[in-house]
Amino acid sequence: MTETSPQQISVKKILPLILATAIFMQMLDSTILNTSLPSIARDLHESPLNMQNAIISYVLTLAVFMPASGFLADRFGTKKVFIFSLVLFSLGSLFCSMSQNLTHLVISRVIQGVGGSLMTPVGKLALIKTFDKSELLKAMNFAIIPALIGPVLGPLVGGYMVDYLSWHWIFLINIPIGVLGIILGLKYMPDYKSTDVDFDLKGFLIFAAASLLLSISLELFGDMQNISPVLFVFILGFLFLYYYYKHARRGGNPIFPLDLFQVRTFRVGIVGNLATRLGISSVPLLLPLMIQIAYKQSAVTSGWIIAPMALTAIFGKSSVIKILDKYGYRQTLMVNTFIIGTLICLLAIPDIHTSLYWFVPIIAILGFFNSIQFTSMNTISIADLRNFQTSSGNSLISVNQQLAIGFGIAFGLIVLKLFENSDLIEGEIHNAFRYTFFTVGILTIISGFVFRRLHISDGKNMKSKED
């Protein structure tokens, strides 16, 4: 057995931190606008409802360009691509802070999104290739913490910066974090390449078009003005997906080979991720909005209400390995999804006269179970992938997660608008939020049945080594 060199030990210690830095920036930027939208809208002379374009444009850019991340990493090396992505992301952040109108902001968010589309999947790919599967659960578990803390700290940090500084600082905060990631990446990021590299440009364009059309259709559906063009775009998105399926069946070297879906744990992980994140992703947007719009509280107050989620996420991280070792992936994911859905439903109980503190324990418990959910779904998805499937499989998982976040945000806003325009709320905007939480929670509970397709023994090769 080859002896591990001091350099390899250092890489294994620092690499999860490098990935954590990338994930933190990406997740922070996916959510930091949530509490800041009203302030930015006033400054840019826009309606707050139009400002969702600044959120969704970023998420859509991630989804569109992520499919190329595996090829670029194999072709140019994980180190070069990762450093380039951090530089691009930091420049995009600077441009966002200098935006003079909504168009400038959306374009700058797209630049950020291109950097982010490479940053996390390439960092994650380096992690997967560096660690044995028996070590991967612990490494991934550490790196995934920012994915839980980012959406929570985003509204809180954004709220403080908007109230006490200006909205420009919510983007400038990325620059020192990006510089830290670049310094660590230059020293510790391994440079994995592949000699067998053939980019499927046609497949990339088809899949990117499908992702974009499906996402745009959801956002347009939220306007509810004319359903016909929305349905057309939605159906066109599915036709492009079918076109990609036909393209991939012809052989060659498709960007996402269809044999990935012959791996059952990957297939269940992909579908489960998409279904359960629809509900989970909408909560960090809906709750701060409700606290500010219905309860008339400040951005800082709404940030503090959901802040406990970050703390309990860390406790969940320390427990997930023991839980998975004891109960396995199938039972853990089914029960955990049911608990998360129930907790989201509980957010619908308080009326407008209930104290805001009622939300704190629910959000705190939700953070704990979200931590378990994300780590479990991420690791079971890659549990049975072969080495030659790692790059494409990891890219598709990343695309799927970002699409799910975009779909979750859009879906939450669609449901909210539907209830807002209905007679059920009796003129009380707060009731629209309550019905939305209940609807999203029930959907999340139902999504847990996806994990019934797992076998009891699935994920045993991911079982961590004892220290």
| Amino acid code (one letter) for 282 | S
Tokens of 363: 């959000």
Residues 11 and 130 in one domain: yes
Classify residue 309: in a domain, yes or no.
yes
Residue 151: the pLDDT is: 62
**Mean pLDDT throughout 99-116?**
87
pLDDT tens track for 236-251: 888 998 898 888 888 7
Is-contact 268 454, C-beta < 8 A? yes
Residue whose structure tokens are 């324990």: 361
For residue 318, give its domain range.
6-199+255-462
**Mean pLDDT throughout 145-162?**
68
Classify residue 1: in a domain, yes or no.
no
Q: Among the three residues 224, 254, 284, which one is the final residue of a domain in this structure?
A: 254
Residue 467: the pLDDT is: 36
Residues 220 and 133 in one domain: no
Classify residue 467: in a domain, yes or no.
no
Residue 2: the pLDDT is: 43
pLDDT tens track for 313-345: 777 777 888 888 888 888 899 999 999 999 999
pLDDT at 57 over 70: yes
190-205 burial: b if 16+ Cβ within 10 Å, else e: bebeeeeeeebeebbe
Residue 455: the pLDDT is: 84
Residues 317 and 399 in one domain: yes
Domain total of the chain = 2
pLDDT at 59 over 90: no
Classify residue 241: in a domain, yes or no.
yes
Classify residue 303: in a domain, yes or no.
yes
What 3 state SS string does 61-128 have?
A: HHHHHHHHHHHHHHHHCHHHHHHHHHHHHHHHHHHHHCCCCHHHHHHHHHHHHHHHHHHHHHHHHHHH
What's the mean per-residue pLDDT of the chain?
A: 80
The pTM of this model reads 0.75
| Amino acid code (one letter) for 3 | E
CB contact set of 400 (below 8 Å; sequence gap of 6+) = 270, 273, 274
- Distance, in Å, from the CA atom of 204 to the CA atom of 198, rounded to the nearest integer, reads 12
Residue 9: the pLDDT is: 62
**Mean pLDDT throughout 124-142?**
75
Is-contact 356 430, C-beta < 8 A? no
Residues 352 and 213 in one domain: no
Residues 88 and 229 in one domain: no
pLDDT band, very low/low/confident/very high, at 38 (cuts 50, 70, 90) = confident
Residues 236 and 369 in one domain: no
pLDDT at 223 over 70: no
Q: Among the three residues 219, 254, 289, which one is the final residue of a domain in this structure?
A: 254
Q: Helix axis angle, 359-382 relative to 145-164, nearest 10°?
A: 140
370-395 burial: b if 16+ Cβ within 10 Å, else e: bbbbbbbbbbbbbbbbeeebbbbbbb
Q: Among the three residues 254, 272, 294, which one is the final residue of a domain in this structure?
A: 254
- Distance, in Å, from the CA atom of 314 to the CA atom of 226, rounded to the nearest integer, reads 45
Residues 271 and 170 in one domain: yes
Q: Name the range with the highest mean pLDDT among 180-184, 191-195, 257-261.
A: 180-184
Distance of CA 425 to the CA centre of its chain: 31
pLDDT tens track for 268-291: 888 898 889 888 888 877 888 888
**Mean pLDDT throughout 290-306?**
78
**Mean pLDDT throughout 1-21?**
66
Residues 207 and 180 in one domain: no
Residues 359 and 265 in one domain: yes
pLDDT band, very low/low/confident/very high, at 257 (cuts 50, 70, 90) = confident
Residue 164: the pLDDT is: 73
pLDDT tens track for 394-431: 778 877 877 787 778 778 888 888 887 777 776 678 78
Q: In whole angstroms, how far apart are CA 105 and each of 41, 63, 456?
A: 11, 19, 48
Is-contact 388 253, C-beta < 8 A? no
> H or E element: which one contains 157?
helix 145-164
- CATH number (domain holding residue 119): 1.20.1250.20
**Residues above pLDDT 90, as percent of the chain:** 9
Residues 355 and 437 in one domain: yes
pLDDT band, very low/low/confident/very high, at 227 (cuts 50, 70, 90) = low
pLDDT at 14 over 50: yes
Classify residue 334: in a domain, yes or no.
yes
pLDDT tens track for 447-464: 989 888 888 877 776 655
Residues 96 and 242 in one domain: no
Classify residue 46: in a domain, yes or no.
yes
Residues 317 and 457 in one domain: yes
Closest to 377 (Cα-Cα) out of 362, 363, 398: 398
Classify residue 452: in a domain, yes or no.
yes
